[in-house]
Amino acid sequence: MFFKRFLSVTFGLLLAQSALSVPVNDSQPLEFDGLGVKARELLARATPAAPHFVVYTDAWDGSSAPPSTSAVKVLPNSSYRALSFLLLEGAWDKAYSWTTLTATERASIKSQYAAAGIKLIVSAFGATDVPTTSGADPVATANSFAAWVKQYSLDGIDVDYEDFGAFNAGNGNAEVWLISFTQALRAQLPQGQYILTHAPVAPWFTPNRWGGGGYLAVHNAVGSLIDWYNVQFYNQGVSEYTTCNNLLFTSSSTWPKSSVLEIGASGVPLSKIVIGKPASTGDASNGYMDPSTLASCLQQAKSRGWSKWCHLWTMRMC
């Protein structure tokens, strides 16, 4: 994902801490009643059941802080706001803006978000960071990123790893790096207390294509530690993933067995596959599907056992 923002949405039956304590909010959900402050913080960070609506945002939207809860109210509860990006050299864009707020301001925003059922996470790496190629230590990087999440009272992290050079090398270094990084992240950010997602491009799930096993190897090693995958089904070729058939059932010979159900057949639970699509023709180089066609595809996927998670890449919707 470039230094843009996109909307990641999980559709239910439709179409598709920290060093700083968050003050107790009287308007928090009823399940918080009778719990102490620490228990409330842990429950507030826990990953809720679907549907999930995730908005990724960075400095391109022209503001310096996360949107107000009223601006996100167009989305149902169980929403996520991801601040982009946390890079090897530090926080940039919206992630950096979050650090410039005072502890009181951050606590106030987090309290309002929690009351509205919105989680606040950070997105790591993106298209400009190449951690494996640059020789970054995966464990040290994970420990640093996890400490940042805790220091700034966030609910988790999304791993938007796009080191294509490392993957294309075919020597397994990318996969080994991701596995070690994920293990170290989860050790610092316990499951059920913090959200941990990955955002791979769909072709990385193609079997027998990548020397190190691709994202199937990553999933086999640490998939149980990852809450879900925000799979990017766009920017992979003009005709790739643009019909119900090659998006859901049978992908092209260029990227074989990388459609939704084929990824599922390779061992990734369908409940963990989030379909990523650009929201308009201007939001990606290719991969756009008009809403009515995409809706039809998602209905077909539902009939085959998919849980109907979808994210839309956009520059304008948030």
Query: What does DSSP assign to residue 247?
Result: I
CA 295 to chain centre: 21
DSSP output for 25-76: -TTS-GGGTT--HHHHHHHHHSPPPSP-EEEEE-GGGS-SSPPPHHHHTTS-
Q: What is the CATH number of the domain that holds 150?
A: 3.20.20.80
Instruction: Note whether residue 245 is domain-resident.
Output: yes
Query: Which residues, given as ranges, of the chain have pLDDT below 70?
Result: 1-78, 308-318
Angle, to 10 degrees, between the axis of helix 138-151 and the axis of helix 173-188? 30
Output the pLDDT for position 62.
Answer: 52
Query: In sequence order, what are the beta bridge partners of 195?
Result: 156
Output the pLDDT for position 118.
Answer: 87
Instruction: Note whether residue 145 is domain-resident.
Output: yes
Q: Flag whether the pTM goes above 0.85.
A: no
- Total structural domains within the chain: 1
Which residue type occupies 318? C
Output the pLDDT for position 121.
Answer: 92
Residue 133, classified by CB atoms within 10 Å of its CB into exposed (0-12), middle (13-18) or buried (19+), is: middle
Instruction: Note whether residue 56 is domain-resident.
Output: yes
Residue 159, φ and ψ in degrees, nearest 5: -95, 95
Q: How far is CA 142 from CA 138, 159, 197, 273, in A?
A: 6, 10, 14, 23
Output the pLDDT for position 214.
Answer: 98
Q: Where are the beta strands (DSSP E) in 154-212?
A: 156-161, 195-198
Output the pLDDT for position 305.
Answer: 87
Q: Name the residue range of residue 238's domain.
A: 6-313
Instruction: Note whether residue 1 is domain-resident.
Output: no
Instruction: Note whether residue 195 is domain-resident.
Output: yes
Output the pLDDT for position 154.
Answer: 97
Instruction: Note whether residue 318 is domain-resident.
Output: no
Instruction: Note whether residue 114 is domain-resident.
Output: yes
